Amino acid sequence: MEKLPEIERAYRMRCYPTARQRRVLARLFGASRFVWNWALERRRSAYRCEKTRLNWVALSQEFTQLRRLPETRWLSELPREPFNQVLRDLEKAYENFFARRARHPRFHGRRHRRSVRFTLDQRRRQLERGGDEGRWAYVTLPGLGRVKLRRTETLEGRLRSVSLSCDGAGRYFAAITADRVPQQAWSAPRTHAVGVDMGLSALAVVHDGQRIGRTPAPKALAAKLIRLRRYQRRQRRQLAAQMRTQGLDPRQRCPKGVRLGLSRRRARSRERIARLHGCIRQVRAHALHQLSTTLVRRAEVIVLEDLRVKAMARGMGRRAFRRSVADAALGELSRQIEYKAGWAGRTLIRVDAFYPSSKRCSECGHIHAGLRLERHWECPACGARHDRDENAAKNLRREGLRILAGSSPATGKRRVRETARGAVAYRGQRPEREVRGVDCVAEPALWVTTAPCQPHPMMNREPARRPARAETPRALSGTA
């Protein structure tokens, strides 16, 4: 049996701090925000005045001085480690900014995500993983002591860092990053290739060559929207009442710097809304994980459409449509399929968003340019009746296999150019190419990713070493 590769991954679980630990965590969350804002301001002013870039080493030295000052003495009462992580995060944020991957780092407001990160010392046993049967794991952290974690799976590999966070509903979570995690063995797939058409009414329509499977969308937000709106209206009324008591006009925004009192009722509605959002999130996450795992278990080759989800959620249609795009979380689904495919050693093929998967007749190949949003249609060329999504899934599967035939599985990630036949099929879909006079023969480049996929970069004290990738990706047929 071939040795399975090791991976990097994260474990996420609920965490149950004691009352004392919750108080320390509350201080740490606030102090981390303070340190972030302080460090960002230092970097900005150093660049403005002296044209120097303060890196995290310089900031760390300044921070040591800051902890000694009498007015910020309270910082020295807290463990140092999470603040080092904050300074590293700021460094990373600037790196992303200079590489044009992100916007300039911004100050964190009072409502910013509450989270602190500790790195785990490899020489000490800070984390008790719990046995095979145990319900609990424990992590010992500076300033906090032994924190209890609800263990949901076996913690394997080298555990690198722990982030503790608190959501709006007051639930605490721990995310543990790990590397050198031995890969679990996946059973051999049952089918060769599936085409997956992701959508809003059906989350995914899957065609495996013979049969069609349809997974309904969870519509997690839509199901709770009426209740959510009721809660939000109530909160809005309570807010207006609070503003009136403080002599402000509730029809206008609360002026900057004014703190509104928090009545017990308003606090309760706020928590209720947060709990509802937490529930929505969980329903959605459950559906996405189930679907992505099933797909990866089932097929050797998975063909997806490379949707421009962000652009869809931003720019298209009415607000209700954009909301349902965000509710379906298709980008997250595609991300999960990608990393799980990497773990299981499957091949993932993304077909360009401009491939006419819906408009093409899967029987005769005719492109029905007049197709609007109808669910069912009849091909004007051959008369075949089509269900929109099923037809798209069939087309995607076929297109994916065609791309795969043109690329060798051993090359890993590479660009595949389209043939002249493909270009004819796309003509009319992308008029701007012809206008610009760019060759229509070399049509949209497609990404073929063969596993193992690039593991996600982790936030560690030092860049984690990538698992050795000397093993050649497994051949398409005949998994070991």
| CA 395 vs CA 197, 227, 309, 447: distances in Å | 9, 40, 20, 17
Cβ count within 10 A of residue 80: 15
* 305 among known catalytic residues: yes
Q: Which of 57, 262, 320, 382 binds Zn ion (CB under 5 A)?
A: 382
Find the catalytic residue in 8, 179, 338, 389.
389
Provide the minimum distance between the beta carbon of 91 and Zn ion in the complex, in angstroms, as a whole number. Answer: 57
Q: Which stretch binds Zn ion (CB under 5 A): 142-150, 193-201, 310-318, 376-384?
A: 376-384
Q: Which stretch binds Zn ion (CB under 5 A): 192-200, 303-311, 374-382, 412-420?
A: 374-382
Distance, CA of 139 to CA of 149 (rounded, Å): 8
Residue that has been written with the tokens 């076996």 in this structure: 154
Q: Which of 188, 316, 364, 410 binds Zn ion (CB under 5 A)?
A: 364
Find the catalytic residue in 8, 91, 300, 305.
305
Contact 390, 207 (CB under 8 A): yes
Q: Which of 26, 69, 185, 381 binds Zn ion (CB under 5 A)?
A: 381
Nearest CA to 420 out of 398, 400, 442, 435 is that of 442
Q: Which stretch binds Zn ion (CB under 5 A): 22-30, 187-195, 299-307, 378-386?
A: 378-386
Nearest CA to 141 out of 12, 17, 10, 13 is that of 17
Nearest CA to 349 out of 228, 446, 218 is that of 446
When the beta carbons of 128 and 363 are compared against Zn ion, the nearer one is 363
When the beta carbons of 46 and 371 are compared against Zn ion, the nearer one is 371
Distance, CA of 324 to CA of 284 (rounded, Å): 12
125 Cβ contact list (under 8 Å, min separation 6): none
Which class for 122: exposed (0-12), middle (13-18), buried (19 or more C-beta within 10 A)?
exposed
Q: Which stretch binds Zn ion (CB under 5 A): 109-117, 138-146, 308-316, 377-385?
A: 377-385
Handedness of CA 320, 322, 324, 326 (dihedral sign): negative
Nearest CA to 127 out of 79, 160, 153, 172 is that of 160
When the beta carbons of 381 and 441 are compared against Zn ion, the nearer one is 381
Distance, CA of 122 to CA of 116 (rounded, Å): 19
Q: Which stretch binds Zn ion (CB under 5 A): 8-16, 289-297, 322-330, 358-366?
A: 358-366
When the beta carbons of 424 and 441 are compared against Zn ion, the nearer one is 424
Provide the minimum distance between the beta carbon of 379 and Zn ion in the complex, in angstroms, as a whole number. Answer: 3
Q: Using CA atoms of 19, 23, 26, 28 in order, give the dihedral in degrees to the nearest 10.
A: -120
Q: Reduced to 3 states, what is the DSSP secondary structure of residue 22?
A: helix
Provide the minimum distance between the beta carbon of 194 and Zn ion in the complex, in angstroms, as a whole number. Answer: 22
* 439 among known catalytic residues: no
Provide the minimum distance between the beta carbon of 446 and Zn ion in the complex, in angstroms, as a whole number. Answer: 24
* 197 among known catalytic residues: yes
Distance, CA of 193 to CA of 303 (rounded, Å): 7
Provide the minimum distance between the beta carbon of 205 and Zn ion in the complex, in angstroms, as a whole number. Answer: 19
When the beta carbons of 10 and 384 are compared against Zn ion, the nearer one is 384
When the beta carbons of 88 and 394 are compared against Zn ion, the nearer one is 394
Q: Does 361 bind Zn ion (CB under 5 A)?
A: yes
7 Cβ contact list (under 8 Å, min separation 6): 179, 181, 183, 342, 343, 452, 455, 467
Q: Which of 62, 128, 167, 363 binds Zn ion (CB under 5 A)?
A: 363
Total residues at interface with Zn ion (CB under 5 A): 8
When the beta carbons of 283 and 384 are compared against Zn ion, the nearer one is 384
Q: Does 366 bind Zn ion (CB under 5 A)?
A: yes
Provide the minimum distance between the beta carbon of 434 and Zn ion in the complex, in angstroms, as a whole number. Answer: 25
Q: Which stretch binds Zn ion (CB under 5 A): 55-63, 94-102, 365-373, 428-436?
A: 365-373
Find the catalytic residue in 8, 179, 197, 208.
197
Q: Does 367 bind Zn ion (CB under 5 A)?
A: no
Q: Which of 337, 379, 392, 396 binds Zn ion (CB under 5 A)?
A: 379
The region, left, alpha or beta by phi > 0 then psi within -120 to 50, assigned to residue 83 is alpha
Active-site amino acid positions: 197, 305, 389
Interacting residues toward Zn ion by CB under 5 A: 361, 363-364, 366, 379, 381-382, 384
